[in-house]
Structure 1
Amino acid sequence: MQRIAFKMQLHKGFEAEYAKRHEKLWPELETLLKETGIAEYSIFLDESTLSLFGMLKMEDPLRLDELPAHPVMQKWWAYMKDIMESNPDHSPVSVPLKEVFYLA
């Protein structure tokens, strides 16, 4: 299982809304993520900078490249674009993070 970490940026004033939208994650999106091979997925918020830190585990990280083609992923991105930094295709601006330490 490989760990993948990344950061994204939330717009000011949308902390509660971001949490609310994830508390009610669409079942079809949850199914898609699990079918893609994501075993665990967490997102943390740095309240001082509004940076979001995501971490997920999966066997084959190359399968993440499949997600943009799915209509439910496109719909989720469009739903989230108003509260976070987004690319022209509405996907979140996501910066990969390099692992520098891990304690198992």
Structure 2
Amino acid sequence: MTSTIRATRVCFQLQIAPELLDEYVARHTPVWPEMLAEIAASGRRNYSLFLGDGGQLIGYYETDDDEAAQRYLAGSEVATRWEAEMSRFFVGLDGRPDQAATPLTEIFHLHDQLTAAHAAVSDNESTAS
């Protein structure tokens, strides 16, 4: 039986204070093992952070239920401690970094478009027969 749950891809943007970049990177090399476990337990997977010029931070993860993942982390003592320690690194952020980040709108995903294109070809072949 095939699962009908479609993973949600979440991408977000934050701004790190430029003077704190080295420390921010050091704090993620490595992340606390108990925080890693909480991220995984929340249902987030394929989680990555990318650092751009001037402290621009782009994050990405996949989840089957982002609202449930956010609720889980909001109630986690470990995540609360981690986010409290991380909050000082960010510019112009109101609230916890894990919940106040600016989400980005996905406009293209290769697999989705290939699947749609394949389905359209199959539909056209079925109609032509």
Find the counterpart in structure 2 of residue 99 from structure 1: 106
CA RMSD of aligned residues (A): 1.4
Question: Deviations 1:30-74 (Å, cap 9, x if unpaired)?
Answer: 111101111210111111x42111000111112232111211111
Looking at secondary structure, tell me which structure has more helix per residue: 2
Q: Is the strand fraction higher in 1 or 2?
A: 1
Matches within 5 A, 1:1-104: 1-47=7-53, 49-66=54-71, 67-85=73-91, 86-87=93-94, 89=95, 91-92=96-97, 93-104=100-111
Residue deviations 1:6-51 (CA, integer Å, cap 9, x gap)? 101100122221111111211111111101111210111111x421
Aligned residues: 101
How high is the TM-score relative to the length of structure 2? 0.71
Letter of the 1:60 counterpart: D
| Stretches of structure 2 lacking an aligned partner (at least 5 in a row) | 1-6, 112-129
Conserved? CA contact 2:46–2:61, under 8 Å: yes
CA distance in 2, matches of 1:51, 1:64: 24
Structure 1 unaligned blocks of 5 or more: none
Q: Which has the larger radius of gyration?
A: 2
Runs of 4+ in structure 1 deviating by more than 6 angstroms, as ranges, are: none
Of structures 1 and 2, the one scoring higher in RCO (CA 8 A, sep 6+) is: 1
